[in-house]
Structure 1
């Protein structure tokens, strides 16, 4: 740092020559390496060090040294939040906001990163408003995103044209800065609404990635999910009059490719859904109320089980359709981040009607969410009725599993399981005892508090005592296990 100060001072007294630039750049490159660790780099991480590096970074007419100083600053702001305070207090965020208008992708990448750390870690929201209102922070951010949208659209229309890696890196930091602005600014829809058409253009131009929710796709979805389309211009951007489903179709393709259960408890690409999909799901929830009928219909047809899927229990492991995978994800213990928001999405596209919700996904999938939200379930939701298409064919639906009852009986018969009419008296007794024990154990957990149906049947006299041929009636008195507490052997009366 002393060498750099001496070099800068000497350059002020001596006409600028190329050798000074070369020496200064070499010093800055060494500082960048040393500054990658905080320990032993006090000269960089002090208030004086940050101030001096910022002076070099925003000095005009020396772009190479300025960018190298910005790299040193970016490392420092990332590794030590106290340096953000030094940088902010000295007024350099204002200079970074002004410089951010540069159309050079190297400048955009570095300034975008510095501004992202400054806005994310800054404690004073009044300063953020100052940067936006007086130093064009939002304006320059929107301009940068617009340039990227044009570049990616051109690349998508020309097979041989590829977007340079540096431009992709600049886009990612610009999108991260935008996301921070969406979380900290008030009246986000008005201030940042103009970014929506550019973000949607980027999303349409990007090819489906593998995994599909990697950067920059998930950065775009992060920002979009925080900008509610409350204005007419925003809604027109989402739903172009010539093709209202254009952008929603792309979003649903991303969801389809990403909606897979984690392969294991260890990190896999499948875990990306729970890590990154929350913004995608939140975005669909946000735009559904503003969607035209054609888009709402597409969402229902794509995300809710079809009548064909009711030949098996909804969400069956045997089904690979998107609705089945979503139901499994919504009930999986592995999806800790997305389970509730996914259930909310299915509830929202059921028009937030608990009866429709139960009929769409089955009470087994809907009950936990409705209970958590404190939403009562009307009795008609548990009737054995089908959707309109099912009623015309005379099929009834099991309201718990969502499966057609005829297909459920077929599956039971195919599995070799028998109904009560195929059981002996002893087998009926064993099943009654098992049921009694299960209900007693469930009640003791405190999770539910329901009347044991076996106990109720006994109290109502619907059980009668039976005896085996080789046993006396007195033997029943010895049956004192848990299942038999308070009851003797018996069979259900018809």
Structure 2
């Protein structure tokens, strides 16, 4: 063990002894006591050599100082020491719980001071998250107002952010208030994961969270704290009951909250610029933080009223105008196009599957609708992975109408209008059948035959090979080379098959 660690251990022990001695002798002024606690806070930022802080006796003594009345500065500094300890060493959480200090923290959490809220919210987050046994949670909620005080704190923040948003002077919320909100929201998220789904105790928090989310300015990147903390909590409080549905879809304006969530998604969904592009900061932010947002949208859709479903369709599914190009192409800048690229990107390891699930959900969990909405190329992998049969009719060309014009047909693989696909082929300079020699047509037919045979053998689809069908129906004829023509005059030689033009 290094001499530096021993020196630190002795210094920490001496500081703790000074505080303990002052309990009975009262020799320290409030300023001297605060200075000692500040030194202990610095020492306690690392566990090594801080034994006197991280022991059960040390946690108990710091908690006594933290919850002692009449000296708020020293109490907050002791809370900072405790917050560091509970974060760095999980065993200290058990010491704190066993000493009955969580109950004290729950009651003190009603303070409207943002410094108190920040520290107590953090300590309660560690206590509820890292507790080995959750049996005390009901006691903290029922007897010590844990949820009630959390709701009160979130309501205060919602009021402040609404006032800031409506201010004509671009009033900013203080940084300390924002930090307090983040720890209050992290505590709420833990509560949403541990309180049973059928409990109604958290329902009053939903409208405050939705109000707060609408009042927050969209940041850059959009899913940073506190926005993603709000969405994390909401994702565990979906609209499953009539009461919660009224919160999410207020009768006076049922789309107001979902519209705000979709705007955040629109700003956050920035895909790689090409299939070979490595992960970028924006893609990382989306992949790390968008999971809860996408989960929330999936859970909102089934119970949403018709105006909300219509909004989600119009916002998340490709429009008819987008079918002039393959759906999800690099040229698309719309939200559906960007989401399709993210859903097919190898870089979105966390969100790729849930994005595909979102498209399936808003297609009413119907594989035919999914293929019509996004194209077989984007839908097939998801359907196969889920073991969902692909109906044969989904692979046929689908007649679609566009702006009142009926009969426009689409390529079911890419989702692009066939007429626009042919236009793109011609513009690219790729030769059509008319410009091919007979031998080139034959080679292309052979390639097509082999590709369909391989595809059928994979079991992905089971469709009739169109080249085989053409052969069986007699739509192929013999072709001859110049040499064969001369041989044929003598009745010798056979030609090769050629597709009729």
Q: Give TM-score, length-normalised by structure 2.
A: 0.87
DSSP 3-state at the match of 1:386: strand
- Residue 241 of structure 1 deviates from its aligned partner by 2.2
Change over 3 Å in CA distance of 1:33–1:439 after alignment to 2? farther
Structure 2 CA distance for aligned equivalents of residues 120 and 489 of structure 1? 75
SS in 2 for 1:223: helix
Unaligned 5+ residue runs, structure 2? 1-11, 486-494
Query: Are 2:38 and 1:13 equivalent residues in the alignment?
Result: no
Residue in 1 aligned with 2:157?
A: 148
2:39 is matched with 30
Match runs of 1:479-494 below 5 Å = 491-492=498-499
Partner of 1:350: 363
8 Å CA contact 1:398–1:404 kept in 2: the answer is: yes
CA displacement at 1:316 relative to structure 2 = 1.4
1:203 maps to which of 207, 213, 216: 213
User: After alignment, is 238-247 or 452-461 more displaced?
Assistant: 452-461
Aligned residues: 478
Contact conserved, 1:385 with 1:391, CA < 8 A, in 2? Answer: no
Could you say if the C-alpha distance between residues 450 and 393 of structure 1 is closer, same or farther in structure 2, counting changes exceeding 3 Å? closer
- Separation (CA, whole Å) in 2 of partners of 1:371 and 1:291: 28
SS of match in other structure, 1:37: coil
SS at match of 2:200: helix
Contact 1:188 1:227 in 2 (8 A): no
For 1:81 and 1:400, the matched residues in 2 are separated by 53
SS at match of 1:418: coil
Establish whether residue 223 from structure 1 lines up as the match of residue 233 from structure 2.
yes
**Using the alignment, how far apart are the partners of 1:151 and 1:458 within structure 2?**
72
- Alpha-carbon distance in structure 1 between the residues aligned to 2:459 and 2:43: 57
* Distance in 2 between residues matched to 1:393 and 1:385, nearest whole Å: 11
- Provide the rounded CA distance (Å) in 2 between the counterparts of 1:51 and 1:275: 38
Q: Deviations over 1:205-243 (max 9, x none)?
A: 111111111111111111111102223332222222222
- List per-residue Cα deviations over 1:123-147 (Å, max 9, x = no partner): 2121222222222111111111011
Q: Secondary structure of the equivalent of 1:402? A: coil
Residues 3-402 of structure 1: pairs in structure 2 closer than 5 A: 3-14=14-25, 19-160=28-169, 161-187=171-197, 190-262=200-272, 264-387=277-400, 389=402, 392-402=405-415
Post-superposition offset of 1:447: 8.1
Offset at 1:493?
A: 6.6
Report if the CA contact (8 A) 1:182-1:188 is conserved: no
Cα deviation, 1:462-488, whole Å, max 9, x if unaligned, reads: 87786655799xxxxxxxxxxxxxxx9
Higher alpha-carbon deviation: 192-201 or 262-271: 262-271
Deviations 1:161-202 (A, max 9, x none): 321110100000000010111111113661211111111111
CA distance in 2, matches of 1:396, 1:222: 42
Q: Does the residue aligned with 1:393 lie in a helix, a strand or coil?
A: strand
Provide the rounded CA distance (Å) in 2 between the counterparts of 1:438 and 1:228. 46
Q: More displaced, 98-107 or 237-246?
A: 237-246
Equivalent in 394, 412, 436 of residue 423 of structure 1: 436
Note if contact 1:53-1:73 (Cα within 8 Å) is conserved in structure 2: yes
C-alpha contact (below 8 Å) 1:465/1:490 kept by paired residues: yes
CA distance in 1, matches of 2:374, 2:407: 20
CA distance in 2, matches of 1:492, 1:86: 83
Q: Distance in 1 between matches of 2:39 and 2:278?
A: 42
Q: 1:392 to 1:380 in 2, by over 3 A?
A: farther
CA contact (8 A) 2:245 2:303 kept: yes
2 CA distance for matches of 1:13 and 1:168?
Answer: 39
Native 8 Å contact 1:193 1:229 kept in 2: no
Instruction: After TM superposition, give the deviation of residue 400 of structure 1 in Å.
Output: 1.2
451 and 321 in structure 1: CA distance in 2 versus 1, 3 angstrom threshold: closer
Residues in 1 aligned to 2:462 and 2:366: alpha-carbon distance in whole angstroms: 26
Residues 20 and 442 of structure 1, relative CA distance in 2, 3 Å threshold: farther
